[in-house]
Structure 1
Amino acid sequence: LAQKDRPMPAVELEALREELRELPWVKDARVSVQLPSTLAIDIVERKPHAVLEKPDRLMLIDAAGVELEPVAKDQTGDKMRISGPGAAKQVAPLETLLASVPALVPQLESAEWVGNRRWNLSFKSGQVLALPEGAETSANALIKFARMDGQNRLIGGQVATFDMRSPPRIYMRVPGRADAVEISGT
């Protein structure tokens, strides 16, 4: 694009396409020559999906975890915040996990990828749900938690942390209590 004097037949379309695809917001590009003097470029833009919390800044990322641009905290809107080493590469599996419990999604504030193997979900109420590792195990635990919340209104209650890392048990930590309360699940 910077070579305005180059004749149209000499434009390297594939090289130009690859150059465009290197831009953070460009997911794909189609480039063609329409003789005598037109270069047609169609851009498929990446859509911001979540906010990745890095140690020194916040980054908008798309659904594939590609970093788009830094963003200020007051400009994140209602996008899910994710954190933890390797979390950007886990955005798609997180979306699959959350799709199993659509009623809980509006109540979620952030998700932390822990130890490169499992998620901690934080709710807008300040409560944290520690899920077990493994896609199927964590999905089953999250569905079980959603059912329990539907029956007992756990979110917004006194419990600060729900730990489901040892199925079928759920450990709940209430601030001010020294002992964890154990509920055996079915």
Structure 2
Amino acid sequence: MDGGRRLLRSVDGLDPALASPRAAVAGAAAGPFHGFSFFHPRSPGRAGFPARRRPRVRHDAGALTAILRLPGLGSALAVAFLVGAGLLGVMENGQYAAFVQEYGAPRDIVARAIGFGIDSVTIAGQVEVTDKEILAIAGVNAKQSLLFIDANEMRNRLLALPLIKDASVRKYFPDRLVIDVTERRPYGLWQKDGAVSIVARDGARIDTLNNPKFETLPFVVGDGANERIGEYVALLDAAGAMRSKIRAGVLVSQRRWNLKMKSGVDVLLPEVNPKEAVATLAQLEREYGVLEKAVVTLDLRVPGKLYIRLTEEAAAAREAAHTHGKGAH
């Protein structure tokens, strides 16, 4: 687990790694990739870290700068010569694009050969998004080198996924990449134009509702209702035991709420102090069972008053009873 008590899990499914640039230049496929192991982002010296010389570090104006110790100059020059010779051949044959597709960019081939590949990836914070999805979205693959990947670009790719609220991508030289994500958690359901979406607390749309486990989340309807779902949840809290009888909240003209009850009754709430009106409704329900009566709407928009619209059958029966009562006199 990392410092935030989040589980760090192994990552599988990356492209096979490439062998030395000599094999790449020769056009042969490389040997198997070493795989990715996991480490705490602040503990690069743990067991299992690739056995390479550690970089020296210094603090410069608050930034952590790695001073890389490269292998011998002769080895680097030999690798560069071989890569250059191979590239000259493939370029003359018009196969450069295929070469890069198979083995990666020349600079990455050289960087990997001198120890700056991506040998381990740490991923933390994910719950709904899988490791493979994060790697695919960020664009991490075995053809890259840690020297030349763009951490900001990877972060922006991750942030483009609605489920991810925040992300950080950090490079730990010589060969480790750390990805930390913060997900948006499903908070409610929002219906607009007939489609129902799962939304986060801030109203951001996460996904289309296609899993029954989310059907019990607070449900709002109407333009802008997703951005004010917190208000609706506050109304549910004010309802107390009556909460289980409320099916959805409908935002009217982006000004006030109506409650759609499971019985089919519509409750019209005022724009000002709607929680107080809900508390009044809860009391009426406890004492008189108003939601179980033959009513269509309960209008609480005027403070201190309740206007009731009966069903057609109930209204007709009431009118008949009233007329009969007059005739009896």
Matched residue SS, 1:155: helix
Whether the aligned pair in 2 keeps the contact of 1:58 and 1:72 (CA below 8 Å) is: no
Of 136, 139, 151, 1:2 maps to 139
For residues 64-103 of structure 1, the aligned pairs below 5 Å read 64-72=202-210, 77-103=215-241
Residues matched between the structures, number: 177
Q: CA deviation at 1:32?
A: 2.2
Q: CA deviation at 1:102?
A: 2.9
Structure with the larger strand share: 1
Q: CA deviation at 1:72?
A: 4.3
Matched residue SS, 2:241: coil
Counterpart in 1 of 2:155? 17
Matched, 1:151 2:251: no
Counterpart in 2 of 1:26? 164
Q: CA deviation at 1:34?
A: 3.1
Whether the aligned pair in 1 keeps the contact of 2:139 and 2:154 (CA below 8 Å) is: no
Counterpart in 1 of 2:244? 106
- TM-score, normalised with respect to structure 2: 0.49
Letter of the 1:94 counterpart: Y
Q: CA deviation at 1:130?
A: 0.6
Q: 1:73 to 1:41 in 2, by over 3 A?
A: closer
Counterpart in 1 of 2:274? 138
Whether the aligned pair in 1 keeps the contact of 2:218 and 2:233 (CA below 8 Å) is: no
Deviations 1:111-170 (A, max 9, x none): 110011000111111111110113xx1111111111221222222232221111111211
Q: CA deviation at 1:22?
A: 2.1
For residues 51-66 of structure 1, the aligned pairs below 5 Å read 51-66=189-204
Unaligned runs of 5+ in 2: 1-137, 319-329
Deviations 1:74-117 (A, max 9, x none): 67522232111111111112222322233222221111100110
Q: 1:156 to 1:35 in 2, by over 3 A?
A: farther
Q: Which moved further from structure 2: 142-151 or 154-163? A: 154-163
Q: 1:168 to 1:50 in 2, by over 3 A?
A: same
Whether the aligned pair in 2 keeps the contact of 1:159 and 1:174 (CA below 8 Å) is: yes
Matched, 1:165 2:317: no
> How high is the sequence identity, in percent, across the aligned residues?
25
Whether the aligned pair in 2 keeps the contact of 1:101 and 1:143 (CA below 8 Å) is: yes
**Greater Rg by CA:** 2
**Whole-angstrom distance in 1 between the partners of 2:178 and 2:244:** 41
Deviations 1:10-58 (A, max 9, x none): 3333443233122111122232223332212122222222221121422
Matched residue SS, 2:226: helix
Counterpart in 2 of 1:182? none
Letter of the 1:53 counterpart: Q
**Whole-angstrom distance in 2 between the partners of 1:69 and 1:125:** 29
Counterpart in 2 of 1:174? 310
Letter of the 2:289 counterpart: R
Unaligned runs of 5+ in 1: 180-186
Matched residue SS, 1:142: helix
